[in-house]
Structure formats: C-alpha cells, structure tokens
C-alpha cells in the first residue's frame, strides 16, 4: 500500500507526459515539441558540451549573487529588527525600493558593469537583498517578548541573548525566507541571461528562439530551469531537518 502511495506522483507525471506526447503528435502544424523531442534536444546539448557549460554558468551567477545578499541582508535585517530606532529610520526606505522589480535595474546594471557575469550577479543580489532583509527583520520582531525576558532574568549577557535566544528563534522563519528568495534569484538569473550575458540557460532559450524553429531547445531550457529549481528548493528544505535549526518547529 505504501509503495502505491509513493508511486502516485510518478504515475501522475507519466500520465502528463503521455498526454503531452499525444497532443504534440496530433498537431497539424508543429507548434509545441513533445517530450521525446525535448529529451533529444537535451542529449544534443550534452553531446555538444553546452549542457554542463550553461548549467554551471547559471548556477555560478546565482551562487555569488545570492550568497552576497545572504551575508549582507540577514545581519542587516536582524539589526533593524533588534533596534527599534533603526527600523523607524530605515524601514520607509526599504519599502520604497522593495516594490521595484529587479529587472528594472537591467539598463543600469549594464551601464555600470557592461554585458557579462557581474551585471547578472548584481541583479541577483538586488533581487535577494530586500526580501531577505525584510524576512530577518520580521523574524526578530516576531520573537515573543517572554523569551527575551526569561533570558534577561537568567542573567544572560547581550551576546548570550543573541546566541541563545535570538539565533534559534529566528532560524525557522529565516530558512523559509531563504527558500523563497532563492527561488526569486533563480527566476531573475534566467531573465538577466536573456539580456545581459551570452551564456546560461536564459541565453540558451533566446539563442534557440533566434536560431529559427528550434523550439525543442527552448522547451529543453525551460525543463532544465524547472528541474534545477526543484533541486535547489529540495536542498534548502533539507536545512529544516538539521536539529540545531529546528528550534521553534512544533513536534508531532
């Protein structure tokens, strides 16, 4: 019975692929390639040495842009959440910049850094910075006051209060925010690669479209983007299983 339950998602995906293949084969005019054609396109990319090159290029940009944002935004957000005056002074400015789409910065990023990796990394950094900052600030503000009062009553120093109360209390919410922000970063790198660089999965989609009727490569790029995004999310979700980071989760 348990095996059947586990096989349900596989069966559902297989059914969708079968429907997709039938729909693609019944087209009078080839508009959308079927899954078989997409698989062959991925094999072609691998044979030409482009598959690994483009995947690594996209992951390289996401890694550096996202990590730079994490290292800056989380301490900054914790500081804003911890100090009321900092929140009052900086929160209005954050709320002004937060609704601006990272893609709106593409012309400025190209002007500052030219066409290349730096421009794409800068866009990913911007896309990740403010969401992580807001998440960290909210995580601090959501800590129940009783936790802080108990720590002070036990004579914890300021540093001990941060390490023993603040850090474990905010981690569950931070992990969720980091998961969501990583998804945003992955979306932005694909969009940036369509304009600001000449490699990566986003560039693959644009180049395949411009090459003519290579929509098998276009859909192959989309499938790769989805699969890698899924793997990145699974990797972030695995952090929730680390015992030292599970403080604050309810236990069954």
Closest CA to 225 of 29, 12, 57: 57
3-state SS assignment for residue 47: helix
With pLDDT > 70 as the criterion, what percentage of the chain qualifies?
83
Per residue in 86-128, pLDDT (tens digit) is: 777 888 888 888 888 888 888 888 888 887 888 889 999 999 9
pLDDT, position 71: 93
* pLDDT confidence of residue 68: 94
Q: Does residue 64 have a pLDDT over 80?
A: yes
Q: What number of other Cβ atoms are within 10 A of residue 127's Cβ?
A: 26
Inform me whether the pLDDT recorded for 156 exceeds 90.
no
Query: For residue 252, what pLDDT is reported?
Result: 43
Name the band, by pLDDT with cuts 50, 70 and 90, for residue 198: confident
90 or 249: which leads in pLDDT: 90
Rg (CA), the chain: 23
Q: How far apart are the first and last CA of the chain?
A: 23
Q: Residue 70 has what pLDDT?
A: 93
Report which of residues 16 and 8 the model is more confident about: 16
Which pLDDT value is given to residue 69?
A: 93
Residue 249, pLDDT score: 46
Pick the closest to residue 66 from 127, 139, 119, 136 (CA basis).
127
Pick the CATH number of 36-245 from 1.10.3720.10, 1.10.287.70, 3.40.50.150, 3.40.50.300: 1.10.3720.10
């Amino acid at each position: 019975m348990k095996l059947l339950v586990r096989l349900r998602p596989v069966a559902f995906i297989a059914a969708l692929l079968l429907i997709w293949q039938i729909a693609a084969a019944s087209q009078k005019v080839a508009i959308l390639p079927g899954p078989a054609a997409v698989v062959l396109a991925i094999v072609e990319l691998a044979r030409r040495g482009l598959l690994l090159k483009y995947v690594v290029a996209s992951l390289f940009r996401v890694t550096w842009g996202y990590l730079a944002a994490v290292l800056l935004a989380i301490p900054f957000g914790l500081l804003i959440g911890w100090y009321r005056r900092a929140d009052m002074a900086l929160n209005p400015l954050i709320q002004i910049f937060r609704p601006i789409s990272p893609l709106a910065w593409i012309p400025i990023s190209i002007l500052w850094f030219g066409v290349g990796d730096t421009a794409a990394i800068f866009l990913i950094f911007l896309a990740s910075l403010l969401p992580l900052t807001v998440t960290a600030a909210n995580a601090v503000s959501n800590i129940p006051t009783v936790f802080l009062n108990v720590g002070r009553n036990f004579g914890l120093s300021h540093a001990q209060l941060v390490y023993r109360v603040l850090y474990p209390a905010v981690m569950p919410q931070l992990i969720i925010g980091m998961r969501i922000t990583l998804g945003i970063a992955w979306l932005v790198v694909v969009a940036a690669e369509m304009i600001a660089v000449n490699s990566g999965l986003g560039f693959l989609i644009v180049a395949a479209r411009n090459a003519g009727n290579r929509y098998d490569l276009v859909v192959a790029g989309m499938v790769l983007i989805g699969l890698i995004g899924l793997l990145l999310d699974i990797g972030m979700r695995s952090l929730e299983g680390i015992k030292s980071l599970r403080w604050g989760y309810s236990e069954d």
